Amino acid sequence: MVWLAYPGERPVIDTDGSHVAPYGGCRNVYFEGLRFQNYNTHFGIRIDSDARDVTFRENTFGPLESGWGGLGTNASALMIARGSFVGSHW
């Protein structure tokens, strides 16, 4: 799975009311040159730890306002959740 900006472009991934979530043992996940914003549903990207060969390069996340997510949540730009095992090559 590749999310890659064209040369000279800076695409915006607006996660208002949603989030990007490659779940369950993903392989070869690559994000480069993107801006993630408006992650008001607790996180911008959520990916399980059992993913393998994951690369985040030259991306921008923000802003994450103080207090977002609410009580008992894990508000973050990038959340790596515990999967069924721990993957490799992050």
Averaged pLDDT, groups of 10, the chain, 90 residues long: 91 83 82 86 79 91 68 73 78
Q: Where are the domains of the chain?
A: 2-81
Report the greatest alpha carbon distance in the chain. 40
pLDDT of residue 38: 80
pLDDT of residue 33: 95
Residue 33 burial (10 A CB sphere; 0-12, 13-18, 19+): middle
pLDDT of residue 78: 83
